[in-house]
């Protein structure tokens, strides 16, 4: 039987890739191969809660095959993409080669170390479930070793530096401050956590640089009230011998450094290097089509659509990735019906970040308003709960949040020795 359906290969099952596949699920004109190195979708905005033992990794992950178990046109392949051949319309993985009619790159972003190998080798990143579990495990292992140490407890320094004052850094440092205040003294009474220091370093002049000044100031006040030492206009140039080296040649003693200072696009080799921006994103037109290509698209964090208002592209947010996937799915449907395709129109929905219990900041675009405090915190929790995939995950996360709210305790302080990376501090 002759195959008449057009073949769409989607690389990446993050917000963009998954939304595109779900929107085109069971479409009669297309067959879809969704390729990802993991067999699950991970909800990245809550990775920090996995790192801080508030949630289990399975609570924010959902199996791809479960999502598409009733699909007639979506095939899941858990493989690593090695190369793209744009001229031959093929994708080479570690298992086999796929020929495509359309290729959609939705591989997201990776941690940006800005070329600093020392930082890359000695700090803890947090862009995946695995890395979040490594942070949790490394912290708990350190506390267990400190309790067992023969060194007087007063001489054991506990200092954690978080580099990057965006939403991830703010949320992570706030969660760590609550952990220090509430659960760690109960779980490790032998250690003096009043001497534990938490630093949040940001290279620009304020936290949450993409949010309003009101949100930035409120987040800083919240964190400092919680005991976090916030330093802006502070650039990190290295990390060695438990010292964070700063650009002014001063340093901060640190037991751990968690690096969330920046991201860059991540995609397989094979495309024209001239189409790759300084931020390692693929230059696309307003239809998310890679420049110079007729059938290769990029959506989400790796797509760079330059415009007058956004010369560096749109914000690398989940909402943008989802909206681009919706628009591209609509265009594929338009193509199937020989109709005109539509350009992607960026709609600013606003931004939000949580700092801790009853503490969050929200910027709404329509109406233009900024607010903070309890209501902002409830809004943040409601939105993130709604965006999770699967009723079971939503229920378990809600139960965990409720437990943590009323008990002030982490419920998942489990230590798995094999997760500790030997080349990390």
Is position 346 within any domain? no
Write the pLDDT tens digit of every residue in 324-350. 999 999 999 999 999 999 999 998 889
Average pLDDT value for residue range 398-402: 92
**Same domain as 149, residue 222:** yes
Is position 42 within any domain? no
Q: What is the pLDDT of residue 300?
A: 95
272 CB-near residues (< 8 Å, 6+ apart): 86, 292
**Same domain as 228, residue 106:** no
**Same domain as 105, residue 158:** no
Based on the structure, what is the number of domains in the chain?
2
**Same domain as 285, residue 146:** no
**Same domain as 126, residue 228:** yes
Q: What is the pLDDT of residue 404?
A: 86
Choose one of 304, 336, 368: the last residue of a domain: 336
Is position 411 within any domain? yes
Secondary structure (H, E, C), 281-331: CEEECCCCEECCCCCEEECHHHEECCCCCCCCCCCCCHHHHHHHHHHHHHH
Average pLDDT value for residue range 389-416: 84
* Number of other residues whose CB lies within 10 A of the CB of residue 294: 9
More confident residue, 10 or 309: 10
Choose one of 336, 368, 386: the last residue of a domain: 336
Is position 54 within any domain? no
**Same domain as 212, residue 327:** no
Question: Which residue do the tokens 């000695």 mark?
Answer: 122
**Same domain as 381, residue 287:** no
Of the chain, the end-to-end C-alpha distance in Å amounts to 58
Tell me the two tokens of residue 64. Answer: 């791809």
**Same domain as 271, residue 255:** no
Instruction: Calculate the alpha carbon distances from 413 to 197, 301, 324, 371 in Å.
Output: 20, 32, 38, 33
Write the pLDDT tens digit of every residue in 17-66. 999 999 999 999 999 999 999 999 999 999 999 999 889 999 999 999 99
CATH number of the domain to which 292 belongs: 3.50.50.60
Choose one of 303, 336, 369: the last residue of a domain: 336
**Same domain as 227, residue 373:** yes
Is position 90 within any domain? yes
Distance CA 308, CA 293 (A): 23
**183: nearest Cα among 408, 385, 11, 16:** 408
Write the pLDDT tens digit of every residue in 206-239. 999 999 999 999 999 999 999 999 999 999 999 9
**Same domain as 316, residue 217:** no
> Sign (positive/negative) of CA torsion 241, 242, 247, 248?
negative
- Cβ atoms of residues 155 and 338 within 8 Å: no
Distance CA 207, CA 201 (A): 9
**103: nearest Cα among 28, 12, 214:** 12
- Cβ atoms of residues 80 and 94 within 8 Å: yes
Tell me the two tokens of residue 193. Answer: 């956590």
pLDDT beyond 50 at 418 = yes
Is position 45 within any domain? no
**Same domain as 237, residue 129:** yes
Write the pLDDT tens digit of every residue in 161-211. 999 999 999 999 999 999 999 889 988 888 888 889 999 999 999 999 999
Expressed as residue numbers, the domain containing 275 is 6-37+79-111+264-336
Tell me the two tokens of residue 228. Answer: 């976090």
**Same domain as 133, residue 243:** yes
Is position 389 within any domain? yes
Secondary structure (H, E, C), 120-133: HHHCEECCCHHHHH
Is position 65 within any domain? no
CATH number of the domain to which 414 belongs: 3.50.50.100
* pLDDT > 70 in the chain, percent: 95
* Number of other residues whose CB lies within 10 A of the CB of residue 132: 26
């Amino acid at each position: 039987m002759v195959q008449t359906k057009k073949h769409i290969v989607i690389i990446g099952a993050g917000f963009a890739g998954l939304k595109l596949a779900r929107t085109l699920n069971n479409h009669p004109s297309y067959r879809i191969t969704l390729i990802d190195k993991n067999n699950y979708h991970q909800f990245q905005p809550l990775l920090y809660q996995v790192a801080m033992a508030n949630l289990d990794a399975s609570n924010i992950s959902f199996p791809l095959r479960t999502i598409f178990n009733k699909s007639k046109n979506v095939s899941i392949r858990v493989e690593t993409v090695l190369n793209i051949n744009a001229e031959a319309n093929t994708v080479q993985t570690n298992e086999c080669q796929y020929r495509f009619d359309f290729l959609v790159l939705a591989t997201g972003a990776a941690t940006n170390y800005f070329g600093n190998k020392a930082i890359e080798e000695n700090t803890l990143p947090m862009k995946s479930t695995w890395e979040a579990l490594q942070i949790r495990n490394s912290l708990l292992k350190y506390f267990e070793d400190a309790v067992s140490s023969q060194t007087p407890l007063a001489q054991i320094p506990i200092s954690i530096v978080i580099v990057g004052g965006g939403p991830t850094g703010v949320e992570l440092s706030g969660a760590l401050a609550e952990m220090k205040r509430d659960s760690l003294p109960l779980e490790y009474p032998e250690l003096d956590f009043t001497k534990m220091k938490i630093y949040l370093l940001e290279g620009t002049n304020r936290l949450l640089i993409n949010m309003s000044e009101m949100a930035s100031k409120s987040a800083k006040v919240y964190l400092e009230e919680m005991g976090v030492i916030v330093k802006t206009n502070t650039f990190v140039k290295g990390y060695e011998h438990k010292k964070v080296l700063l650009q002014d040649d001063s340093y901060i003693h640190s037991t751990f450094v968690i690096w969330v200072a920046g991201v860059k696009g991540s995609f397989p080799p094979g495309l024209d290097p001239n189409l790759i921006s300084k931020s390692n994103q693929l230059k696309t037109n307003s239809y998310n089509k890679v420049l110079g290509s007729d059938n290769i698209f990029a959506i989400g964090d790796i797509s760079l659509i330059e415009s007058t208002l956004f010369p560096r592209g749109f914000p690398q947010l989940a909402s943008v990735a989802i909206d681009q996937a919706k628009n591209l799915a609509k265009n594929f449907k338009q193509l199937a019906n020989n109709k005109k395709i539509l350009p992607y129109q960026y709609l600013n929905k606003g931004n939000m970040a949580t700092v801790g219990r009853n503490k969050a900041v929200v910027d709404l675009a329509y109406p233009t308003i900024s607010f903070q405090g309890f209501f902002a915190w409830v809004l943040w929790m409601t939105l993130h709960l709604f965006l999770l995939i699967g009723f079971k995950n939503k229920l378990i996360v809600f139960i965990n949040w409720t437990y943590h709210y009323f008990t002030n305790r982490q419920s998942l302080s489990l230590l798995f020795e094999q997760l500790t990376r030997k080349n990390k501090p």
